[in-house]
């Protein structure tokens, strides 16, 4: 029996309120409606049920649909084992499968995971296709290591034919529910939402689109951190392609698309998804726009009169959504945002309306081209800076200035008479502002042109464009360079921007020859362009100078210094911004340091820092790097305290959030930790190394090569500080990834650390095994090969293989003397162990000669209380054959006092000195302590 029209109208009107309520509020509200309007309530519930089916569509619905005849429900039950996982608790289920909380059945990892079980099939072809898709997704999606993305751990099909996806289990609430429950203000919502944008932007850079962004796929945990779920529905490029530009178009005709079908969450679907068009990063931008609209207003951007799929599709395709500021919000929505209707409209009007309108454009080309661009406009809005999505009119620019400086502007109103009297000045300032706006528009146009070319470059990675062939990042870039040269022949400034971007990608891919060629071309383009921007030219010259220096070839390193000096001259004589002058001075200083011209390096860095104090009053990356370069120069000169202060300056700038990037901060902390270790402050070294490791925990991507030094230093610092148990714990916790690293140098150096830990704790056999494994890994690297040889000789001496050790050390010493010269500090360890070897061979005069040379070298670069210097001095005392045991004991006691002064740790050397001194004092005779009785000092 048809329902009366007024019932439909009433139900549709109530829907506007229903969709804004949280689930726990909605049930009670529906009960009230049922009691007050029993004829309308059943229809309202049906409408809500249909709405929720659209709203909650997820990854399970995007999997290949089995034939109806062969489909079975997912067979999960508590305690069942699916692949390596044991199911613990059912989290949810639907027509396409179920989701479970689970853990590893063998107990190897004590963490919960979320296991998704799609409906199964008896069709072998369907299972084979599914297995292939799962394998491809696992390989790609496992790369998405980001603090705001829930990891995909594993995919597969169990022995019983049950497909499964195991993801990181996130205990949290959907972002809209969290915001409402916490009563977050609009500003707080925007700040939280930026976490979502950062995560999606990262995924785009890995060539992964989400395609199903919605509040249900963004959970917020107990720490207020947003976590994105279900990147498993993303379209992926072929495994051999690597792209670093986020504006990549991804083919709608790939195998994954055909297998996955066209399942989407309609409420958040972009027009091109509905029309089965080509998807790109702009598709996710659209969904993010819908999500932001809901977070801010509590309602959807589209309000079709009929709650049907067709009506919603029509609106998405043909109707521009109303401005967010025009939406009427129920009292519950306003309370959840701690605002009023008037205040909410005022907050959303202007920038937010403009940002949302751009994100929700029907034409993907008219939206923000990247998530980063959307995030940048939101950040500018939060700091009351002009956003890119609106024209830079003089009134708009002025209004932003007024918003940022309300107090100053209010005070100036008191001087209105003076303002009228200086109308000429005001007119002049208006012209300047207009000129600035014109420059800004020109720059925006140039960036847009470059962005368009970059998008075209990386669309070459589209399987459709490449006719299904797999192409590598290098091939993409080579094609792109040719395309950019052709398309931007008449716009050299835009070409320079594209070359800058491609150069950055070559740097990240580790292709120095290609990087060098691109940087040369960039400089040529700018040098031959009339009226080229001097700052851009200086930047290009400095980048080329750095690229030349990093090749390691002597002819290039010489050219690098010349080019850096040329950039410095350009910056000074042609009026570049002063921060470029500072940066050029710092890079010239670092080049001198690398070339071992330390006095010249110190002079240039002093100039850089003197200028920086005047032109860089606020923290910024180049200032942080200048202090870091100053630190390593001071370190190389042996000015330890100066180096420590310079590193502390760098760390302080970085702590403001306006210094180095996070990865660069890890490198700085590594250098700082190494400085503290070399200066024998082992507790500080361990702390700095652990700081670097802690910082890396929150960063995406594989940072193994960056944190490898921190892992080694942390273990060695604890060991040298005398905390053997702590060193062993650290080795178990953080050194294992290094021992198993595929990179030979990482694995080899970790084995060297592990061997030292083993013999210091008496496990000589384990040390032998580690050294044997390390030898082939370190032998191609001259410096590390020497360190391995010295370590192996030390172990041999500890195991009384004296002759073997002595022979090896003689070879090492000869090679070092030839390559480094006879007075290099690097010779000290080999000389010292040769002294120990000859002392144990009962040759005191030979031993004393080696000890004397080693102590002389250490005295040049080590403080008087440095353990390495004190140990050598102690050996020299013990090697004097005609000194009495009492005299030796007295000398050792004095050395003990020197090394223990102001130390907060119980280093092994102190224990060794104490034990040898007691042996000398308690002996009734005068022990020679030569031959087998000669002690080894730790």
Q: Which of 154, 198, 212, 905 is catalytic?
A: 212
Task: Name the token pair of 244.
Answer: 């670093």
Q: Is 99 helix (H, G, I), strand (E, B) or coil?
A: strand
- Alpha helices in 721-781, H assignment, sequence order: 724-730, 736-739, 744-760, 764-778
Q: Write the secondary structure of 262-310 as one string of H (helix), E (strand) and C (coil).
A: CCCCHHHCCHHHHCCCCEEHHHHHHHHHHHHHHHHHCCCCCCCCCCCHH
How many CB atoms are located within 10 Å of the residue 589 CB? 28
Is residue 232 within 8 Å of 238, Cβ to Cβ? no
Count of residues making up the chain: 938
In whole angstroms, what is the distance from residue 247 CA to residue 252 CA?
16
Judge whether 595 counts as a catalytic residue: no
Rounded to the nearest 10°, the torsion over CA 301, 302, 308, 314 is -130
- Give the residue among 383, 328, 388, 386 at the shortest CA–CA distance from 190: 383
Task: Note the Cα 928 to chain centre separation in Å.
Answer: 58
Q: What is the 8-class DSSP label of residue 158?
A: -
Let me know the angle formed at the C-alpha of 871 by 866 and 872, rounded to the nearest 5 degrees.
Answer: 105
In angstroms, the CA 836 to CA 846 distance is: 10
Q: From CA 694, how far away is CA 711, in angstroms rounded?
A: 11
Copy the structure tokens of residue 328.
């009427």
Phi, psi of 191 (to 5 degrees): -65, -45
Residue 551, Cβ neighbours under 10 Å: how many? 16
Question: Could you tell me the two tokens for 560?
Answer: 């690098």
Rounded Cα distance, 598 and 593, in Å: 5
Query: With contact defined as beta carbons under 8 Å apart, do 115 and 102 qualify?
Result: yes
Q: Give the pair of three-digit tokens for residue 203.
A: 């995924």
- Residue 568: left (phi > 0), alpha (psi -120 to 50), or beta? alpha
Torsion of CA 27, 28, 34, 40, to 10 degrees: -50
Q: For 226, phi and psi rounded to 5 degrees?
A: -75, 140
DSSP summary character for residue 925 = S
Pairing of strands 85-94, 81-82: antiparallel
Long-range contact set of residues 122-128: C-beta below 8 Å, sequence gap at least 24: 122/66, 122/70, 122/72, 122/161, 123/66, 123/67, 123/70, 126/64, 126/66, 126/67, 126/70, 127/157, 127/161, 127/163
Check: CB of residue 72 under 8 Å from CB of residue 119. Answer: yes
Residue indicated by tokens 């429950």: 181
DSSP string, 690-737: HHHHHHHHTS-S--HHHHHHHHHHHHHHHHHTT-HHHHHHHIIIIIHH
CB within 8 Å of 40: residues ≥ 6 apart? 7, 10, 11, 14, 33
The pair of structure tokens assigned to 653 is 């700038």
Task: Please tell me the number of Cα atoms within 13 Å of 407 on its side-chain side.
Answer: 0
User: How far, CA to CA in Å, does 742 sit from each of 65, 235, 565, 750?
Assistant: 39, 29, 40, 12
Q: Do strands 226-228 and 249-250 pair parallel, antiparallel, or not at all (unpaired)?
A: unpaired
Rg of the chain over CA atoms, in angstroms?
34
Longest dimension (CA), the chain: 119
- The span from the CA of 391 to the CA of 393, in Å, is 6
Catalytic residues: 212
């Amino acid at each position: 029996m048809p329902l009366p029209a007024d019932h439909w109208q009433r139900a549709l009107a109530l829907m506007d309120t229903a969709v804004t309520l949280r689930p726990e509020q909605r049930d009670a509200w529906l009960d009230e409606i049922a009691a007050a309007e029993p004829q309308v309530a059943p229809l309202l519930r049906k409408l809500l049920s249909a709405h929720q089916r659209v709203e909650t569509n997820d990854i399970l619905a995007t999997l290949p649909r089995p034939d109806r005849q062969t489909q079975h429900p997912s067979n999960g039950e508590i305690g069942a084992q699916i692949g390596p996982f044991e199911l613990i608790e059912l989290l949810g289920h639907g027509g396409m499968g179920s989701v479970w909380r689970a853990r590893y059945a063998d107990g190897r990892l004590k963490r919960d995971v979320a296991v998704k079980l799609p409906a199964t099939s008896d069709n072998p072809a369907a299972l084979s296709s599914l297995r292939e898709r799962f394998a491809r997704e696992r390989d790609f999606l496992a790369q998405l290591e980001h603090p705001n993305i829930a990891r995909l751990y594993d995919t597969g099909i169990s022995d019983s034919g049950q497909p499964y996806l195991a993801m990181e289990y996130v205990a949290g609430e959907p972002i809209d529910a969290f915001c409402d429950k916490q009563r977050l203000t609009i500003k707080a919502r925007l700040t939280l939402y930026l976490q979502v944008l950062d995560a999606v932007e990262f995924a785009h850079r890995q060539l992964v689109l989400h395609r199903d962004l919605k509040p249900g796929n963004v959970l917020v945990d107990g720490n207020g951190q947003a976590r994105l779920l279900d990147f498993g529905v993303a379209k992926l490029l072929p495994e051999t392609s690597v792209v670093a530009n986020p504006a990549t178009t991804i083919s709608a005709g790939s195998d994954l698309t055909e297998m996955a079908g066209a399942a989407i969450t309609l409420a958040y679907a972009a027009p091109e998804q509905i029309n089965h068009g080509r998807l790109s990063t702009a598709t996710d931008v659209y969904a993010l726009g819908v999500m932001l609209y809901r977070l801010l207003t509590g309602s959807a951007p589209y309000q079709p009169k009929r709650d049907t799929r067709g009506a919603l599709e029509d609106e998405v395709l043909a109707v521009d959504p109303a401005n967010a500021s025009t939406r009427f919000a129920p009292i519950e929505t306003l309370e959840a945002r701690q605002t009023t209707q008037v205040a909410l409209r005022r907050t959303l009007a202007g920038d937010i309306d403009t940002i949302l309108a751009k994100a929700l454009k029907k034409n993907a080309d008219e939206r923000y081209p990247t998530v980063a661009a959307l995030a940048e406009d939101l950040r500018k809005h939060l700091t009351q800076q002009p956003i890119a999505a609106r024209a830079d009119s003089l009134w708009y620019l002025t209004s932003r200035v007024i918003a940022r400086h309300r107090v100053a502007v209010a005070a100036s109103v008191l001087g209105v008479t003076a303002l009228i009297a200086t109308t000429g000045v005001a007119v002049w300032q208006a012209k300047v502002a207009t000129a600035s706006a014109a420059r800004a528009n020109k720059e925006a146009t140039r960036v847009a042109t470059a962005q368009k070319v970059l998008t075209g470059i990386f669309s070459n990675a589209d399987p459709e464009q490449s006719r299904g062939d797999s192409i590598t990042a290098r091939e993409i870039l080579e094609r792109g360079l040719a395309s950019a040269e052709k398309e931007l022949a008449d716009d050299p400034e835009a070409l320079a921007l594209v070359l800058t971007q491609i150069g950055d990608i070559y740097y990240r891919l580790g292709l120095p020859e290609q990087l060098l060629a691109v940087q040369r071309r960039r400089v040529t383009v700018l040098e031959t362009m009339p009226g080229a921007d001097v700052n851009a030219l200086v930047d290009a010259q400095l980048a080329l100078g750095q690229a030349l220096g990093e090749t390691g070839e002597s002819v290039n390193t010489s050219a690098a210094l010349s080019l850096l000096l040329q950039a410095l001259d350009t910056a000074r004589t042609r009026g570049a911004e002063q921060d470029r002058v500072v940066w050029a001075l710092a890079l010239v200083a670092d080049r001198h340091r690398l070339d071992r011209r330390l006095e010249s390096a110190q002079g240039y860095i002093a100039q850089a820092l003197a200028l920086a104090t005047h032109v860089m009053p606020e923290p910024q990356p180049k200032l942080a790097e200048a202090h870091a370069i100053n630190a390593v120069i001071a370190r190389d000169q042996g000015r330890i305290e100066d180096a420590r202060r310079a590193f502390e300056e760098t760390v302080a700038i970085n702590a403001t959030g306006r210094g180095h990037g996070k990865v660069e901060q890890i490198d700085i902390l590594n250098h700082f930790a190494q400085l503290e270790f070399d200066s024998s402050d082992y507790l500080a070294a361990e702390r700095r190394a652990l700081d670097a490791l802690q910082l890396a925990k929150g960063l995406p991507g594989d940072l193994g090569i960056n944190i490898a030094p921190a892992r080694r230093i942390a273990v060695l610092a604890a060991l040298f500080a005398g905390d053997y148990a702590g060193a062993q714990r650290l080795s178990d916790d953080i050194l294992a990834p290094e021992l198993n690293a595929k990179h030979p140098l990482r694995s080899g150096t970790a084995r060297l650390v592990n061997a030292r830990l083993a013999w210091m704790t008496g496990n000589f056999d384990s040390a032998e095994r580690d050294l044997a494994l390390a030898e082939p890994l370190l032998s191609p690297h001259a410096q590390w090969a020497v360190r391995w040889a010295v370590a192996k000789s030390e172990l041999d001496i500890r195991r009384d293989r004296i002759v073997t050790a002595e022979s090896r050390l003689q070879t090492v010493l000869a090679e070092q003397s030839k390559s480094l010269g006879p007075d290099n500090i690097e010779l000290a360890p080999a000389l010292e162990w040769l002294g120990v070897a000859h002392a144990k061979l009962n040759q005191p005069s030979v031993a004393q000669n080696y000890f004397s040379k080693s102590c002389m070298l250490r005295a040049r670069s080590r403080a008087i209380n440095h353990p390495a210097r004190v140990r050598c001095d102690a050996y020299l005392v013990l090697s004097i054959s005609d000194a009495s045991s009492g005299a030796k004991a007295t000398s050792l006691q004095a050395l003990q006092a020197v090394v223990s002064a102001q130390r907060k740790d119980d280093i092994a050397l102190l224990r060794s000195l104490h034990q040898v001194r007691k042996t000398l004092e308690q002996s009734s005779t005068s022990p020679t302590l030569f031959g087998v009785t000669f002690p080894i000092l730790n």
